Amino acid sequence: MKLTQLYLLTALAMGIALPQSLRAEEEKIYDLVIYGGTSAGIAASIQAKRMGLDVIVVGPDKHLGGLTSGGLGWTDSGNKAVVGGVAREYYQRIKTWYDKKSTWKWEKPEDYGRYRPNDDAQWTFSPHIAERVFEDWVGELEIPVHRDEWLNRAPGEGVVKTCGKIRSITMLSGKTYVGRMFIDATYEGDLLAAAGVTYTTGREPNSMYNETLNGVQIANARSHQFVNDISAYKVPGDPSSGLLPRVHDEDPGKDGEGDHRIQAYNYRVCLTRVPENRVPFPKPEGYDPSIYELLLRDLQAGSWHIAGKFDMLPNLKTDTNNHGSFSTDNIGMNYDYPEASYERRAEILKEHEQYEKGYFYFIANDPRVPEDKQKWMAEWGLAKDEFVDNGHWPHQIYVREARRMVSDFVMTENHVRGVLPTPQSVGMGSYNMDSHNVQRYVDKDGFVRNEGDVQVSPGGPYPIDYRSIIPKKSECENLFVPVCLSSSHIAFGSIRMEPVFMVLGQSAATAAWRALDRGVPVQDVSYDWLRERLLKDKQVLEFERPSRAAAIPTRSLDGITVDDRQAKFKGEWTRSSAILPYIDYGYSHDGNSNQGEKSATFITTIPETGDYEVRVAYSASSNRASNTRVEVQNSEGKAVLFLNQRKPPSIQKCLEPIGIFKFTKNAEAKVTVSNLDADGYVIVDAVNWLNQKQ
């Protein structure tokens, strides 16, 4: 370290005024140093500049905006009413581009259903326009951005801390940035880790925070699943032939157990069918068609899942996402990414790019792919006018989850659902608790299964606590973490949306100003002041959500109750909480599709021999099936009944008795609800066994 830098740090720690001669650019002390040019980082820099802070953005990014400009043009916004402040301004600036006729090169605006002239914001957009908005905004405010600067992560070299505060960060290039406040706006959380802040990766067990959707999720892994029975072996049905690529035969774990696994990453590619703007799918270097054997088998078995998530953006382009059994998610290939070296991460990114390019190339070109599916895919290609400096491939992978800070306040499923209070709101989330699959394994029958997918509504918008974006005071007093914030895995699955990151970035910068103004640690910022200022700057901090009073907790019911979260499902079911009342947190429905291929089995062990009334829970609606098939396995055999789910249940408008049956002590009792010949949506919520002696 140079003597001038040492003097700067010492003076900063002691509060000594600095001679002007030492305020050269390379020795400068910034009010706020933001590491990471993601959407959160840029939003934070805009707020900081507006509040008069001397701010700089530095980081590995060459392009501003992270995933927002890196392919995620189909904004996962949830309830747009809770997106305020700088974040909403961003989408309003996007709108000004699409209000120009010159922007519409490949499509007429009136032909694109998600462009509405009278709306104040545009939520779907092309990547290059997303990046242009970030660049223009930073340019207007003259915010300095130092790109392609990578934090030196070697212990004791990249971060200097004294008296519980970060004093400087040093890049691999040798450049050092001295600051009074810092924000880690990266997707990986490299600065927080180098600063010695506690963090975690992977999935916590449900027991840690009294959650229901964390840890291993075999029972809930119904979406993006193999609908067909696909053998996991090179020679179908022959274990001795060996497993197909990217399938493991280890124990996947038990529901609710924690593990080290990370939900899958992918690139959100921008595709088009417009011939003049289309680049045919390239054959990637090292292409290996055997990797896609599972995909081939599913396609040959009739699956059309490949067409599921081509979400249309303006100008006949797409934000193409993972969908179905075998898609763009590179399941199981990213476990070591969060803490990996830069070199190892580069290898992971290259492998993911190779995999995903190969996915599209395989479907469009391999002669074994069914002709109709191959023809359909071959009509698409990379958008020629996007990512022009990177072979039309996104510059940002979707890091859905990496490190997560552990602070004095951890956002959990119960905060997201509104069960526990979140008193110090600095922004709101509203998206589903969404985890992509984390592993692909062979089940006991030799078939392939995906595990980890969860898609459950939180029930409405919810606040995110200030304490979740700051470390413990004992660990660091001048750092904010608006992206890798303090959250459990499943809560982060809802929080991790780009508009939310921008919201939290703005709130972090606002709190940084206050901490500097008052000369206090970030943990001692007055929340009353912060709340007032955030509201003044048009942040949304509260929102009336549907009351949970109409939800019936399992513990309030007499007898034995098995919720749909514990049921064994066949086929792909969808979680919902749209229609009250329901048991606990929601229910599952069959999507009114694939009649005869979906069922849910509720299983319990009877504690005492006797007669039990069996009650089936569902939420009624006119679109439900009037002939839902229910099978009750009891000590006298199997009874088949039919339930009219259009009619409101007679008990608490949620439970409908279907009969009294004999059951034997310690015997297994089963109730199976199926969609065989159903004439509408089939709902499964819970099954209750009530001993008639009670």
Burial of 597 per CB tally in 10 Å (0-12, 13-18, 19+): middle
- Mean local confidence (pLDDT), 442-465: 94
Phi, psi torsion values for 14, nearest 5 degrees: -95, -5
Do 72 and 142 lie in a common domain? yes
Instruction: Tell whether 45 and 103 lie within a shared domain.
Output: yes
**Amino acid occupying residue 579:** I
Closest among 452, 464, 318, 345 to 399, alpha carbons compared: 345
**How far is 184 from 191, CA to CA, in rounded Å?**
6
In whole angstroms, give the CA distance from residue 207 to residue 210.
5
Is 603 a domain residue?
yes
> Percentage of the chain with pLDDT > 70?
95
Is residue 420 assigned to a domain? no
CATH number at residue 656: 2.60.120.260
pLDDT recorded at residue 419: 83
Nearest to 193 by CA among 149, 240, 159: 159
Residue 487, φ and ψ in degrees, nearest 5: -160, 150
In a domain, 466, yes or no: yes
Residue range 342-375, pLDDT digits in tens? 999 999 999 999 999 999 999 999 999 999 999 9
Q: For the chain, what is the domain count?
A: 3
Judge whether 226 lies within some domain: no
pLDDT value of residue 457: 87
Looking at the structure, tell me whether residues 12 and 146 fall in a common domain.
yes
Q: What is the mean pLDDT of residues 180-204?
A: 98
Q: Write the CA distances from 687 to 255, 376, 561, 573, 669, integer angstroms.
A: 20, 43, 6, 17, 11
> Count of residues for the chain?
694
Least confident range of 275-279, 417-421, 506-510: 417-421
Domain end call among 348, 383, 418: 383
Residues 180 and 64 in one domain: yes
Dihedrals phi, psi of 109, to nearest 5 degrees: -60, -35
The strand pair at 55-58 and 145-146 is best described as parallel
* pLDDT the model gives residue 76: 87
CA distance 681 to 672: 16
Q: Kindly report the average pLDDT of the chain as a whole number.
A: 94
Model pLDDT, residue 277: 98
CA distance 562 to 603: 7
For residue 107, give the nearest of 315, 273, 339 by alpha carbon.
315
The answer to whether residues 579 and 511 belong to one domain is no
240 inside domain = no
Do 177 and 83 form a contact (C-beta atoms < 8 A)?
no
Strand residue runs (E) in 495-573: 551-552, 560-563, 568-570
- Angular region, 264: left φ>0, alpha ψ -120 to 50, beta rest: beta
pLDDT for res 694: 63
Which residue bears the tokens 């995110």? 464
Could you tell me if residue 193 is inside a domain? Answer: yes
DSSP letter for 334, please.
-
* Domain-located, residue 571: yes
pLDDT score recorded for residue 24: 38
SS3 (DSSP) at 314: helix
pLDDT band at 227 (very low <50, low <70, confident <90, very high): confident
Using CA atoms, how far apart are residues 1 and 5, in angstroms rounded to an integer?
Answer: 6
Rounded-to-integer distance, Cα 149 and Cα 175, Å: 8
Q: What are phi and psi of 26, to 5 degrees?
A: -75, -15
pTM of the predicted protein model:
0.82
For the cut 70, the answer to whether the pLDDT of residue 78 exceeds it is yes
Q: Residue 76 sits in a domain of what CATH number?
A: 3.50.50.60
> Among all chains, which residue has been given the structure tokens 């089939």?
682
pLDDT, position 22? 40
Give pLDDT tens digits for 83-98.
999 999 999 999 999 9
Distance from C-alpha of 193 to C-alpha of 195, rounded to nearest angstrom: 5
CB 552 within 8 A of CB 545: no
Both 558 and 613 in one domain: the answer is yes
CA-to-CA dists, residue 471 to 192, 198, 266, 409, 524, angstroms: 9, 8, 29, 9, 12
| 311 torsion bin: left (phi>0), alpha (psi -120 to 50), beta (else) | beta
On the CB side of 679, CA atoms within 13 Å amount to 8
Instruction: Say yes or no: 557 and 526 in one domain.
Output: no
- pLDDT at position 15, please? 52
Q: Out of 421-425, 520-524, 529-533, 586-590, pick the least confident.
A: 586-590
Would you say 271 and 319 are in contact if contact means Cβ atoms under 8 Å apart? no
The three-state secondary structure class of 219 is coil
Condensed to tens digits (0 to 9), the pLDDT of residues 274-328 reads 999 999 999 999 999 999 999 999 999 999 999 989 999 999 999 999 999 999 9
H-helix or E-strand spanning residue 240: strand 238-243
Which one of 363, 383, 403 terminates a domain?
A: 383
**Which structure tokens are listed for 446?**
């030799």
Eight-state DSSP code of residue 400: -
The verdict on 561 and 495 lying in the same domain is no
Among the three residues 536, 567, 582, which one is the final residue of a domain in this structure?
A: 536
Give the per-residue pLDDT at 3: 44
pLDDT in tens, 366-403: 999 999 999 999 999 999 999 999 999 999 999 999 99
Helix, strand, coil percentages for the chain (3-state, nearest 5) = 25, 25, 50
Averaged pLDDT for residues 649-659? 95
The Cα 256–Cα 249 span in angstroms is 20
Res 229 pLDDT > 90: yes
* Alpha-helical regions (H) of 195-282: 206-209
Do 38 and 185 belong to one domain? yes
SS3 611: strand
Vertex 250 angle, CA 248 and 255, to 5°: 110
Tell whether 77 is covered by a domain: yes
Is residue 178 domain-shared with residue 278, that is, in the same domain? Answer: no
Spatial distance between the Cα atoms of 544 and 540, rounded to a whole number of angstroms: 11
| Three-class secondary structure assignment of 73-120 | CECCCCCHHHCCHHHHHHHHHHHHHHCCHHHCCCCCHHHCCCCCCCCC
In the chain the first and final C-alpha atoms are separated, in Å, by 78
According to the model, what pLDDT value does residue 175 have?
Answer: 97
Give residues with Cβ within 8 angstroms of 30, minimum separation 6. 54, 55, 56, 177, 178, 179, 180
Residues 627 and 593 in one domain: yes
| Nearest one of 481, 487, 470, 390 to 435, comparing CA atoms | 487
C-alpha span between 668 and 502 (Å, rounded): 51
> What range does the domain containing 297 cover?
271-383
Q: What stretches of 446-541 show up as alpha helix (H) in DSSP?
A: 489-495, 498-518, 527-536
Residues 611 and 519 occupy one common structural domain: no
pLDDT tens across 543-569, in order? Answer: 987 666 567 888 889 999 999 988 999
Burial class (CB in 10 A: 0-12, 13-18, 19+), 682: buried
DSSP-assigned letter for residue 60: S
Written as six digits, the tokens of 398 are 């979707």
